[in-house]
Structure 1
Amino acid sequence: MLRFLLSFWLFAAPAWAADLTVFVAASMGDVLGEAADVWEDKTGQHVTIAPAGSSVLARQIAAGAPADIFVSASPEWMDWLDQKGMIAPDTRRDLAANALVLIGHGSGEAGDMPTDIAALLPDDTRLAMALVDAVPAGIYGKAALAHLGQWDALAPRVAQTDNVRSALALVALGEAPLGIVYATDAASDDRVHVVAQFPEDSHPPITYPAAITADALNADAARAFLEWLASAEGQALFARYGFVPVTE
């Protein structure tokens, strides 16, 4: 069961000094929720997963929110925290990578990227995207559309959301006919289908850096959890959710 951040309790345990709290990009909330369950079964340690937009989480950590680990959907927000001295030195690592896709409501088959996405939007409808100037999925999406020469036509018709899962929900509910999300988001909801995948060279590489925060209350256990996520067992879990290994 996915553990959302409702409260933060500390308790003594035989193997660990305290529970762990992980602030994680919304697109990785499902897989980290299962990882938390597996970790608790293995170690007896409870892991609280707090999913939201990377920009929101980074700002909360900078403001003093109690997180042991931060998992971002882009390097930029991790860099931002690191520059503020909020990331523990030598703990950063890339956990996984993802792809960017155009999705539509209902069922359908994937094909080539449309050359005129705006023409596929019925009158008074919008393209669902995460915030294009703050949330990684939105930033990647804007970059991809600009690369394809379609951003100027689509910019007035974008419905921006606080995180990528909210953009997914707009399309899943039929409130937006099209949206831009990660491939793993599209695979998580059978109410949407992939229209096409954006070319890899149309946007910066989509990687998920993770690190222990400078104010972590349980740094040793956080390090062990991160090492497990990067292990073969942890990476197999990411693969099952559609994430791909990070290539050098």
Structure 2
Amino acid sequence: MVALLSQFKFKKAAVLSILLALGVLLAACGSADKGKASEPVELTISAAASLTDALQEIKGKYEAAHEGVTLAFNFGASGALQQQIEQGAPADLFLSAASKNMAALVDKQLIDANKQTNLLANELVVVVPADGGSELASLNDLAKETIGKIAIGIPESVPAGNYAKEALTKAGIWDALQAKTVQAKDVRQVLQFTETGNVDAGFVYRTDALTSEKAKIALTVDPADYPPIVYPIGLVKASKHAEEAEAFYSYLQSAEALDVFKAYGFAAPGSASAK
């Protein structure tokens, strides 16, 4: 009887030891899983070229505060970016320089109407080379013989080019300037053409002009001559990182992000000026 009792106690102790060891092992595994970093995420943001400088600064701030999240920007003309998204190109967010491009994607149910909003505003200006560019009192001065080539974004795909076309049409000189017009793929190329002296004048946003030391603002186009320049932002429904995309979407509307945009000359939608 004593032998059986001792054997029972031994087996009980062995079972308890095994159970205790399993408990420690499971706890260790649980702690390891809990402390394990989530998979790295790369967000692709298709954004109007005029947002390049501001978003690059925001990228550094955001990535430093959000470990594991990388922002990859696809900068270009808003119309071209819209077409890329329509054709299935990967994108998590879209920042357009015109409402119509965002509206087109909402209509095609590629962006949720409840997850898009107007983020920024801007102004249209005419720039000339900084070293001796021509003085301009009005848009009509662009028709003078002293002005040779004029750069403008392709109106069909570049919002700034479309705004410029509307202003020139209202001034009654759009047709007369066609022989002088050099079309560019986006506002940054317009700025480059002007900086290098390949053209005598170019239509860009005020924010683009403020980034350059080789071009200067010769004329601010009357805002009454073209539709309000609004930058909407929206979440792409096909995003594979919806949670992280929405977090960045919200961040871009925060005071910290808006302060960066304002430093580059952008304004809040509905404000009187983007100066």
Q: Which residue of 2 aligns with 1:29?
A: 52
1:118 equivalent among 134, 137, 143? 143
Tell me which residue corresponds to 1:228. 251
For the pair 1:57 / 2:81, whether they are aligned, the reply is yes
Structure 2 distance, partners of 1:107, 1:191, is 7
Task: Provide closer, same or farther for how the CA distance between residues 108 and 92 of structure 1 changes in structure 2, counting only shifts above 3 A.
Answer: farther
Pairs within 5 Å for 1:58-73: 58-73=82-97
How big is the shift at 1:152? Answer: 2.1
Q: Does 1:84 align with 2:108?
A: yes
- 1:39 and 1:15 map into 2 onto residues whose CA distance is 17
The residue identity in structure 2 corresponding to 1:20 is L
Deviation at 1:95, TM superposition (A): 1.2
SS of 2:140's equivalent? coil
Question: Normalized against structure 2, the TM-score is what?
Answer: 0.80
Indicate if the aligned counterparts of 1:108 and 1:194 stay in contact, CA closer than 8 A.
no
Structure 1: distance between partners of 2:146 and 2:84: 36
Residues 1:189 and 2:212 aligned together: yes
Structure 1 counterpart SS, 2:65: helix
Aligned 8 A contact 1:16 1:221 in 2: no
**Which residue number corresponds to residue 196 of structure 2?**
173
Q: Using the alignment, how far apart are the partners of 1:149 and 1:15 within structure 2?
A: 59
* Cα distance, 1:223 vs structure 2: 1.2
Q: Deviations over 1:55-84 (max 9, x none)?
A: 111111111111000001101111111121
Residue pair 2:126, 2:218 contacting (<8 A) in 1 also:
yes
Structure 1, unmatched stretches of 5+, are: 1-12
2:222 aligned residue:
199
CA gap of 1:113–1:16, structure 2 versus 1, over 3 A, is: farther
- Paired residues in the alignment total 234
The offset of 1:236, in angstroms, is 0.4
Aligned equivalents of 1:121, 1:153: Cα separation in 2: 15
Give the C-alpha shift of residue 121 in structure 1.
4.3
CA distance in 1, matches of 2:194, 2:52: 19
SS in 1 for 2:144: helix
Question: Deviation per CA, 1:11-56, whole angstroms, max 9, x where unpaired?
Answer: xx94676221100001111111111111101112111111011111
What amino acid maps onto 2:162 in structure 1?
I
CA distance in 1, matches of 2:240, 2:57: 22
Does structure 2 retain, via aligned residues, the 8 Å contact 1:142–1:151? yes
Fraction of identical pairs, as percent: 32
Tell me the amino acid that sits aligned with residue 267 of structure 2. V
Instruction: Confirm or deny: 8 A CA contact 1:58 1:81 kept in the other structure.
Output: yes
3-state SS of 2:245 partner: helix
Aligned mate of 1:245, from 259, 264, 268: 268
- Look at both structures and tell me which one has the larger radius of gyration over its CA atoms: 2
In terms of fraction of residues, the more helix-rich structure is 2
Q: RMSD of the TM alignment (CA)?
A: 1.9
Aligned position for 1:162: 185
Partner of 2:28: none
What residue number does 1:42 align with?
A: 65
Alpha-carbon deviation of 1:107? Answer: 4.3
Q: Secondary structure at 2:111's aligned position in 1?
A: coil
